[in-house]
Structure 1
Amino acid sequence: MNSVPHATTTLRRAPVQRRSAERLTRILDACADLLDEVGYDALSTRAVAQRAGVPIGSVYRFFGNKRQMADALAQRNLERWSERVAERLEGIGSRPGDWRAAMDAVLDEYLAMKRTAPGFSLVDFGNQIPVGVRRSEPNHRVAERLTGLLSRHLGREPDEELRCILLVAVEAADALVQLAFRADPQGDRRIIAETRELLRGYLGRVLD
Structure 2
Amino acid sequence: MTTRTAIRKEPRQARAKARVNALIEATERLLVASPEAETAALSTTAIAREAGVPVGSVYQYFESLDSILEVLRERAHDEVMQVVANELQRIGEHSDWSVTNRHLIKSFWAAARAHPTFRRLTRYENSTQPLWNTIPKPGSWLDRLIREALAKTDRTPPADRLEAQVRTLTAAISVLTDQAIEEQDEARAEVLVDEMIRLVAGYLA
TM over 0.5: yes
Q: Deviations over 1:25-49 (max 9, x none)?
A: 2211211222342622321111101
Question: Does the residue aligned with 2:136 lie in a helix, a strand or coil?
Answer: helix
- Report if the CA contact (8 A) 2:180-2:189 is conserved: yes
**Residue in 2 aligned with 1:43?**
42
Tell me which residue corresponds to 2:18.
22
Q: 1:67 to 1:84 in 2, by over 3 A?
A: same
| Counterpart mapping for 1:134-153 below 5 A | 137-141=133-137, 144-153=140-149
- Residue in 2 that maps onto 1:176: 180
> Structure 2 CA distance, aligned partners of 1:18 and 1:124?
31
For residues 191-206 of structure 1, the aligned pairs below 5 Å read 191-206=188-203
Per-residue CA distance 1:1-53 (angstroms, 9 max, x = gap):
xxxx9445321012223433332222112112223426223211111011011
CA contact (8 A) 2:24 2:68 kept: yes
Contact 1:143 1:166 in 2 (8 A): no
**1:41-120 mapped onto 2 (5 Å cutoff):** 41-96=40-95, 97=97, 98-113=100-115, 117=116, 119-120=117-118
2:17, 2:197 → 1: CA distance? Answer: 40
144 and 204 in structure 1: CA distance in 2 versus 1, 3 angstrom threshold = same
Which amino acid in the other structure matches residue 127 of structure 1?
A: E
Which residue matches 2:165? 161
Structure ID, larger Rg: 2
CA contact (8 A) 1:77 1:125 kept: no
Q: Residues 108, 50 of structure 1: CA spacing in aligned structure 2 closer, same or farther, 3 A cutoff?
A: same
Q: Which deviates further from its counterpart, 151-160 or 22-31?
A: 151-160
Residue identity opposite 1:107 in structure 2: W
Structure 1: tracts of 5 or more residues without a match: none
- Residues 32 and 66 (structure 1), Cα distance of their counterparts in 2 relative to 1, 3 Å cut: same
Judging changes above 3 Å, is the alpha-carbon distance between structure 1 residues 15 and 94 closer, same or farther for their aligned structure 2 residues?
A: farther
* TM score, norm. by length of structure 2: 0.78
- 1:11 corresponds, among 2, 7, 17, to 7
Identify, as 1 or 2, the structure richer in helix. 2
Indicate the RMSD between aligned Cα atoms, in angstroms. 2.8
Q: After TM superposition, give the deviation of residue 172 of structure 1 in Å.
A: 1.6
> Is the contact made by 1:12 and 1:64 (CA closer than 8 Å) also made in structure 2?
yes
Do the aligned residues in 2 keep the contact of 1:127 with 1:139 (CA within 8 Å)? no
Cα offset for 1:177? 2.6
Q: Are the counterparts in 2 of residues 15 and 21 from structure 1 also a CA contact under 8 Å?
A: yes
* Mapped contact 1:34–1:48 kept (Cα < 8 A): yes
Q: Distance in 1 between matches of 2:64 and 2:79?
A: 23
